[in-house]
Amino acid sequence: MMKFLEGPERMRLGRNVEARYYRFLKPAPASRPLRPAPQPSAVDTASSYALARLGLPVTRTPALPRPRWLGVAALGLATMALGAVAWRQARWRLRRLQQVGTVAQLWIYPVKFCKGMSVSATECIAMGLRSGQLRNGFWLVINKKGNMVIACQEPRLVLISLTCDGDSLTLSAAYTKDLQLPIKAVPTTNAVHKCRVHSLEIEGRDCGDAAAEWITSFLKTQPYRLVHFEPHMQPRRSHQLKDVFRPTEKISYPDTSPFLILSAASLADLNSRLEKKIKATNFRPNIAISGCHVYEEDTWDELLIGNVEMKKVMSCPRCVMTTVDPDTGVIDRKEPLETLKSYRLCDPSEKHIYKSSPLFGTYCLVEKIGTMRVGDPVYCIV
């Protein structure tokens, strides 16, 4: 009895017959066709896009056959990279910004212990503020032994200023003829000195006899020389001075950190306790902030200023340098230090960090470089 196939079975049989029929009719190829060159896969495209978003170089290489696991690994890398980009872009949606003040003033101190230069805007990079050719703490006055000269020894250092006009630097001070120095033409034949800043060695390129004679003539005590830190030189490490800093943090000639924040409210509170009022420049801050509460800067952990992200590391321990009048170059050796010691000492649990020094202002490091300007709002990231 013949059985008629219906439904799925009939369709399956038909496909089998058709496949056998075409196998017999199809002629064998004369030769094997060439395989087309492999094209970039979706994995390659995603990887290249992720690397480009992160600012990493994308190398184009001929596509080659690869094991399947390599493709999976590359896709995983691309996914992680894109996730990192997305996370960074979404940070501010996940965290709250609370305005705590406004940038009132910005200062760069090109020569350690010398006069600061007020600027309206500045770049904020890992090793300090930069305005044009001037960088914070990249010049240093040394004695013949290579030791830094500090304002406690030579208080008139605070009267010397270093400014930049076009391609030249200008050393100036009251009642003294200015000295111009070429900023980009310091001969490579000039000596590189081994210098010491707070017991740590660091190099500095000699700025020449003219600069040395100018500074020596102004201070009228002993021979001094001016040196410049060049980017290729080995920097100091903040961690070697205070272990609360990360081992990766680099500095040129500043004491411990190239970023010091001070609030106007805290300065006003200190002045209310002093007979003779002092200025913010007694404390040599880089960023002065107005509109916040007294000593509120002690509580800030992370800040956003302009497009710069900063993180507090520690409070700033103060020394006798604060008693040098920045306008006259006269050292008092008492105030405001004695008054600060009466109410701004650290908690006993932190004496291993600060010892007996009073605290005023905060040291920060940069988490994300960028620019800031006077008038920028200051946000605390909470």
Q: Rounded CA gap, 243 and 245, in Å?
A: 5
Query: Nearest 10 degrees: CA dihedral of 131, 132, 135, 141?
Result: -120
Report helix, strand or coil for 151. Answer: coil
pLDDT in tens, 235-280: 999 999 999 999 999 999 999 999 999 999 999 999 999 999 999 9
Number of residues written out for the chain:
382
Instruction: Answer yes or no: is pLDDT of 26 > 90.
Output: no
**68-94 and 42-53 helices cross at what angle (nearest 10)?**
40
Residue 182: pLDDT band with limits 50, 70, 90: confident
* Model confidence pLDDT, tens digit, residues 192-231: 999 999 999 999 999 999 999 999 999 999 999 999 999 9
Average pLDDT, the chain: 85
Whether 284 has a pLDDT exceeding 80, the answer reads yes
Q: Extract the tokens encoding 4.
A: 């008629």
Q: What is the pTM of this model?
A: 0.77
Say if residue 334 is exposed, middle or buried (CB neighbours under 10 Å; 0-12, 13-18, 19+).
exposed
Instruction: Say what the pLDDT of residue 92 is.
Output: 53
pLDDT for position 3: 41
Choice between 365 and 26, residue whose per-residue pLDDT is larger:
365
Q: List the beta bridge partners of residue 50.
A: none
pLDDT in tens, 115-172: 999 999 999 999 999 999 899 999 999 999 999 999 999 999 999 999 998 788 999 9
| pLDDT digits 0-9 by tens, 70-121 | 666 667 777 776 766 565 555 555 679 999 999 999 999 999 999 999 999 9
CA distance 56 to 240: 31
CA dist., res. 124 & res. 304, Å (int):
12
Residue 134 is predicted with a pLDDT of 93
- Tell me if 72 sits within 8 A of 42, measured CB to CB: no
Superfamily of domain 100-381: PK beta-barrel domain-like (2.40.33.20)
Q: Is the pLDDT of residue 44 over 60?
A: no
d(CA 116, CA 160): 9
Residue range 327-332: mean pLDDT, rounded = 96
- How remote is the C-alpha of 375 from its chain's centroid? 21
Integer Cα distance of 228 and 141 in angstroms:
9
Average pLDDT over residues 37-46: 55
Q: What does the alpha-carbon distance between residue 13 and residue 6 come to, in Å, rounded to a whole number?
A: 10
